[in-house]
Amino acid sequence: MLLALDIGNSDTTIGLWNGNTWLHIWRIPTKPDQPELFYGIKLRDYFFEAKVDVAKIETIVLSSVVPVLTDKLTGVIKILLGKKPIILGPAIYNRLAIEVLNPYEIGSDLVSNAIAAYDHYKNTCIVVDFGTALTFTALSSTGKILGVSIAPGLKTAIKSLTQNTARLFDVPLQMPTSALGTSTITAIQSGILVGYNGLIKSMVNEIRRELKEDCPVVATGGLSSVITPLHDFFDWVEPNLTLNGLRIVYETLNVDE
């Protein structure tokens, strides 16, 4: 079995792959200040509750955009599983099916997304990731990452807005019925969600114009389903795209060996 870990700025996603499907997917809030013990107990409890035979976990692949947690999770994995994880990063990029632009600058989560999207389409495509940041990653027909655009994520935008107002509001991420809000909450929902609907379409159309191709668009991230008018805009919605990219890294390196 494969254990895949995607350490993001907001959440750490952990998937257990049995060769055919994701048996389990768990999420832990990313807390860089927590000790290794915090993550070790979480992982141990997940394995225990799911009755996972850890002896059957052959390989661990890890992507991280939080360097301090890379070391902590690596230590946890060594203690719990007695193995060292494969870390998705510049050291192994030349062994993968895609070409990575600025390997020491791009987040490994975006690289993992690109790997999974290119494996699916084998052609030019765009990945929109709804995470802490809203990112747009474009790939060429040969699998080269051509560039990335970054905007604040939906939760980040709402948090920034509400934290800087005199009164704080708990604004649910749901599409308003009108572009004209009639309360503070619906006004914020309108400005963010209706506004981001336009932002996403505009960015995708501009990237397509530059690529000179009406290429497919993949959406991923837990908030990819929030903006309902975009449901028919995306060609493929895959919440587990990053984990699938890590799975493909594992399969690719196994073939190499």
Mean pLDDT of 236-246: 95
As a three-state string, the secondary structure of the chain is CEEEEEECCCEEEEEEECCCCEEEEEEEECCCCCCHHHHHHHHHHHHHHCCCCHHHCCEEEEEECCHHHHHHHHHHHHHHHCCCCEECCHHHHCCCCCECCCCCCCCHHHHHHHHHHHHHHCCCEEEEEECCEEEEEEECCCCEEEEEEEEECHHHHHHHHHHCCCCCCCCCCCCCCCCCCCCHHHHHHHHHHHHHHHHHHHHHHHHHHHHCCCCCEEEECCCCCCCHHHCCCCCEECCCHHHHHHHHHHHHHHHHC
Catalytic residue among 109, 129, 232, 256: 109
Q: Tell me which of 49 and 226 has the higher pLDDT.
A: 49
Query: Percent of the chain at pLDDT above 70?
Result: 96
pLDDT at 257 over 60: no
pLDDT at 175 over 90: no
Mean pLDDT of 191-218: 95
At residue 228, the pLDDT reads 85
**pLDDT band for position 243 (50/70/90)?**
very high
Average pLDDT of every residue of the chain: 92
At residue 166, the pLDDT reads 58
Residues of CATH 3.30.420.40 domain(s) within the chain? Answer: 2-87, 104-240
Q: Which CATH architecture has domain 104-240?
A: 2-Layer Sandwich (3.30)
pLDDT at 91 over 70: yes
At residue 167, the pLDDT reads 63
pLDDT at 145 over 60: yes
Mean pLDDT of 25-48: 94
At residue 181, the pLDDT reads 87
Q: Which CATH superfamily is domain 2-87 in?
A: ATPase, nucleotide binding domain (3.30.420.40)
Catalytic residue flag (residue 109): yes
**pLDDT band for position 168 (50/70/90)?**
low
Residue indicated by tokens 């308003």: 176
Q: Tell me which of 49 and 157 has the higher pLDDT.
A: 49
pLDDT at 164 over 80: no
At residue 119, the pLDDT reads 97
pLDDT tens for each residue of 101-125: 899 999 999 999 999 999 999 999 9
Mean pLDDT of 90-109: 94
**The overall pTM is greater than 0.85:** yes
At residue 71, the pLDDT reads 94
Mean pLDDT of 5-27: 95
**pLDDT band for position 162 (50/70/90)?**
confident
